[in-house]
Amino acid sequence: MIRAMKLNYQKHSQHQNSDSLGVQTLSAPMIILPGLFGSTRNWRSFATELSKVGDVYVVDQRNHGDSPHAGSHTYADMAADLVEFIDYLGVEAVHLIGHSMGGKASMCCALWYPKRLLSLTVLDIAPVVYEHSHAPFLEAMLKLDVSQLSSRTEADKLLTSAIPEKATRLFLLQSLTGSPGDYSWRLNLQTLHDSLSDIMAFPIAAADVAPSRGIPTTFISGADSNYVQEKQKSVIAEYFANPEYVLIAKAGHWLHVEQPAAVLTAIKSFLIKND
């Protein structure tokens, strides 16, 4: 039995004066689901800009950020958590935006709970099984004795051999909180490590669902990313009828960080058209 969890969130609202400025605003709220290792902290500037057209809620998914930790981390869990959050907002349906793991959770919600979505925006992910693994990252973080750290700089140095890319280390270290002698991870590292096979997979077989025809859907991906390629569009079509595609130039998997203006333009245009 799936037990939904109450998720931590941040609300962003800047649209109160948009109508007087001639900016069209949305009638329904937007929810952003971050990807693996992501949290409300990573999306603040993006969500603040997006909130010019409506209320934006960024959630910490279970086992991330300030949301509760649990021993289970499946897409069924994440979709149930999301429906619980939509109920908490007191609305019937929302505009859902998901990146990477959050994109897969968003697709699952669209397929299992279609009446709760007005639109679906998927950022750089497809409903397929990915073969690469984030296990080395999680194993390196699990081995780090945070109780003995003297500084975040020391943590960065100790992770360098296992995680040589500095940008990746800095991103992961955003989830390290506290001070010397009292550091801790805002991630449930063990559960995430144990759940990697579920995270990299997609739990819904196309044969078990009819292509979602009632939900406007767009897939926005980075031109330099290999997560969404032409060969995967035929798979996407088995789940979502008539999806739109947007390719963001000079962007990889972290397209919303690398090219935020282009991604925001694409999202705003799509949402205003489908509100």
Confidence of residue 15 (pLDDT cuts 50, 70, 90): low
- The sheet with strand 217-222 has its strands ordered as 9-12, 56-59, 30-33, 94-99, 117-123, 217-222, 244-248
Return the bridge partners of 31, or none.
Answer: 57, 96
> pLDDT at position 23, please?
61
- Greatest alpha-carbon pair distance for the chain in Å reads 55
Domains and CATH numbers, the chain: 9-128+202-274 (3.40.50.1820), 135-194 (no CATH)
Least Cα distance to 107 among 38, 35, 171 occurs for: 35
Whether 147 shows a pLDDT value over 70: the answer reads: yes
Confidence of residue 20 (pLDDT cuts 50, 70, 90): very low
Provide mean pLDDT across the span 226-238: 93
pLDDT, the chain, mean: 94
Whether 241 shows a pLDDT value over 60: the answer reads: yes
Provide mean pLDDT across the span 7-12: 97
Question: Quick one: what percent of the chain has pLDDT higher than 90?
Answer: 89
Whether 2 shows a pLDDT value over 80: the answer reads: no
> pLDDT at position 209, please?
86
Confidence of residue 215 (pLDDT cuts 50, 70, 90): very high
